[in-house]
A and B are shown apart, each in its own frame.
Chain A
Amino acid sequence: MKFAVNKGWSNGRARSGVLQLGSCPFPIQTPALLLTTRKGLPAFISPDLLTSSLPSPDSHLLQFSPLHFLEGISPKTISNIGGLHQMLSLHQHIFAAVPRDSIIALPEHDSTNKYGASFQTPGGRLLIKPAEYVELVSSMKPDFWVTLADEVPAWVSDKRNRTSVDRTLRWLDDCLSLNKTGTTIFGSIVGGSSIEERHRCAQEVAQRNVSGYWIGGFGLGESMDERAALLTAVTDNLPEDMPRHVSGLGLPEEVLQGVAAGIDLFDSTYVYHLTLGGFALTFPLERNKGDNADYQLSDSGGDDMKINLKATIYRKDTSPIVESCNCFTCQNHTKAYLNHLFNVHEMLAQTLLEIHNTHQYLGFFCSIRKAIEEGKFEQFRRNFVESRRECLFAAASSD
């Protein structure tokens, strides 16, 4: 794995970079989005559409939880097939193994103990030990993997929080010593809502021989306000030239917060949840409009950044979700058709919508990178947050 930060723009902690990992022949620009998957494939987009309908190489970063495979297929069989890339026939994609998955493998801090981490999955509660985890991961051969962590929500006692840091460090060392195949490992950093513990954990992990850092314990109940300081408590103690990956920061504002703290990689369930609910993102960012240095959002008629395709106003709307969007869905289908598909509960609705929403969200990340490279990230972030507030205010006062 190769990672390099682009130097030369004064953006505070926000940085843009380039990541190169084995499977993917194209370098990935960061900050970047990892697409959430179920057993390695998106929830609704079939693999042939994954490669043909989404932008490349932006859409080549996929996150998955190894735990999700436990119920259906054995590590031995995965090995026999030849690993994850072979099993999914996605040889040019980058797979990141993260135990925690915000939809199908939620950390259960009450049941986690000194032997292993506990997760709530659709198949029930699962306790996984470092050795089992490493065995699972080695059968899959992902491009990089995150060490087992004890993630706790913001409200646990100080004692429990300290224990989580100690355990996470111990499991990190276990994973490192069990890792025979020399794969790329991201060290896990936790610490809950304690600045000191975050600080301590980050410093400890920074001393280990890892290729990058995964920051956990977010998106588990802390407020956005307290999170900023916790993030910087971590990133300020990490070497600058190594990638930082965070889970649980899904919403656009949360991503911006993470970028501002120096995070490079994000996995987010935003697209999945929007899609399930029938919401389509409509915030085309005018990044292609040449030299307009003013990063105003263009919206579709003064509304919020998303529309509810199930709403009856779209029954006869023969326009695409977003006129200027190049995605398969907008190039081929209308809001009226999608409205119908949602109303009759047809799976195609979610397939088409996941394509569009992924496209849009990847576009958002592209705009973030451009803003950083032009030295205008803080302004971009401010404009974004303010126009969101205006929309919400306008919506609230129009009732």
Chain B
Amino acid sequence: MAWFSACSIPAVPLFLQVLGRFNRARAAQLTLPHYLCQTPLFMPVGTQGTIKGLTKNQLEEIGCQIILGNTYHLALRPTSELIDELGGLHKFMNWPRALLTDSGGFQMVSLLHLADITEKGVTFQSPVDGKPMLLTPEESIQIQNRIGADIIMALDDVVRTTITGPRIEEAMYRTLRWIDRCIAAHKRPNEQNLFGIVQGGLDPVLRDICVRGLVERNLPGYAIGGLAGGEDKDSFWRVVAQCTAALPEDKPRYVMGVGYPLDIVVCSALGADMYDCVYPTRTARFGTALVPEGVLKLKHQAMANDIRPIDPMCECMVCKNYTRAYIHCLVTKDAMGSQLLSYHNLYYMMKLSRDLHSSIVEGRFPEFVCKFLQTMFPKGDVPEWVCNAMEVAGIDISSCCHEMKV
């Protein structure tokens, strides 16, 4: 099992200790100011200081370790100044574990169609009164300093991977210039960890420049950004693989916006540690449950008479007590339906995180991956991109795949 070093408690606000490996995959203990986490881990998104109807006790029971808060939304309501005045977001929400805030930039660009990016920052129209506003790297960090999360994200110039051309290169270099401004503006480096975000689209040359630029700044952690935006899966995993190979071993790697359980397993095999996505809670609101085989759509008429639990192997409160039929009659009509599904879906993601961690630590990661893929693809039709990624990760999944098409 893991051997913990007997050194004293680190004075830095982040400490990563790798407890086990399989090739590129790692299982680690991530010490943050508010919580001792185990990676790989999934971070649910608590947009506005809460996760869709679940109480802090339920989140603790489910095993959530770090929750993500959206800076854009919190800055609007209740404002970062108010959160600061009341003692920070942890105290405001009464969440005793770790928090991460994003920079606010991505939301602006995706939510506000009149947002524009210049060297100064992100200009946008205030959604409250339509006035022109500007989010600079400095301002983003100040807001995040006030909110007080354990991990804060640099403001980056993020472009969708579906875009091509010189814009990508411009965004990558600007991200590097902005990281220096973020570092300079960061007033609480002993309590909050500023992560840099690797940009560069799907271009390996650009990505490489960005990684090296960020690593030079010796940040507490690194995120791989600009993915999970519609690019093809084959490009997606290659960018992740390239970045994880080049990023330092002793710092956490966070793939932003990921995602589907399959994507998380692949990225973990390639050496990533942290993930976030709205998918589990969002899909719950549409009546969809996450199961080892993939998804289960509770709205379907077939569910109306199905008296099995959502997942017979799942140990969560929902699966231990309720049938698909009952949840089916709730999901379209009563809020309780999506609440129960959110609970189950988050439990599923946290269980996946725990399984990834323990299987790596206990030296049975390849077996875990194979079982995962066999359950999800019982006919052996594992997607090609997964096969390619696993080859690079050095994991033999031939037992899960039928003969590859020539």
* Shortest beta-carbon distance from B57 to chain A in Å: 8
A69 proximity list for chain B (CB < 8 A): 329
Chain B interface residue count, CB cutoff 8 Å, equals 42
Q: Which residue of B lies closest to A351 (CB)?
A: B53
Main secondary structure of the interface of B (DSSP, over half): helix
Of the listed stretches A161-169, A193-201, A342-350, chain B binds A342-350
B343 — which chain A residues lie within 8 A by C-beta? 46
B-side contacts of A43, CB under 8 Å = 334-336
Q: Would you call A72 and B94 a contact (CB within 8 A)?
A: no
Of B55, B58, B92, B339, the most chain A CB neighbours within 10 A belong to B55
Give residues 125-150 of B contacting A (CB, 8 Å). none
Q: Which residues of A sit under 8 angstroms from B333, Cβ to Cβ?
A: 71-72, 122
Within 8 A of A (CB), among B257-307: 304-305, 307
What is the total of A-B residue contacts with beta carbons within 8 Å?
Answer: 124
Decide: A344 near B326, CB < 8 A? Known: A39-B334, A44-B336, A71-B333: no
Say yes or no: is B48 at the interface (Cβ < 8 Å to chain A).
Answer: yes
The answer to whether A348 and B53 have CB atoms under 8 Å apart is: yes
Q: Is the CB of A337 within 8 A of B77?
A: no
CB distance from A46 to the nearest CB of B (A): 6
CB distance from B89 to the nearest CB of A (A): 10
Instruction: Say yes or no: is A177 at the interface (Cβ < 8 Å to chain B).
Output: no
- The answer to the question of A332 belonging to the interface, with a C-beta cut-off of 8 Å to chain B, is yes
**Inter-subunit contact B304/A347 (CB<8 Å):** no
Q: Is the CB of A343 within 8 A of B77?
A: yes
B18-26, B29-37, B97-105, B317-325: which one contacts chain A? Answer: B317-325
A73 close to B325 (CB less than 8 A):
yes
B340 at the binding interface (Cβ < 8 Å): yes
How many A residues touch B, CB cutoff 8 Å?
43
Write out the residue numbers on chain A whose beta carbons fall within 8 Å of the beta carbon of B53: 44, 46, 346-348, 351
Contact status of A47 and B321, CB under 8 A, knowing A74-B304, A346-B50, A347-B53: yes
| Additional A-B contact list (16), CB under 8 Å, known A89-B321, A348-B55 | A39-B329, A44-B336, A46-B343, A49-B55, A73-B329, A81-B307, A318-B87, A332-B57, A334-B86, A340-B77, A341-B49, A344-B49, A344-B73, A344-B77, A346-B49, A352-B55
Q: List 26 A-B contacts (CB under 8 A).
A: A39-B330, A42-B336, A47-B321, A72-B328, A73-B304, A81-B307, A81-B325, A88-B321, A88-B322, A89-B320, A122-B333, A315-B78, A316-B85, A316-B86, A332-B94, A334-B86, A340-B48, A341-B48, A343-B78, A344-B77, A346-B50, A346-B53, A347-B52, A348-B50, A351-B55, A352-B55
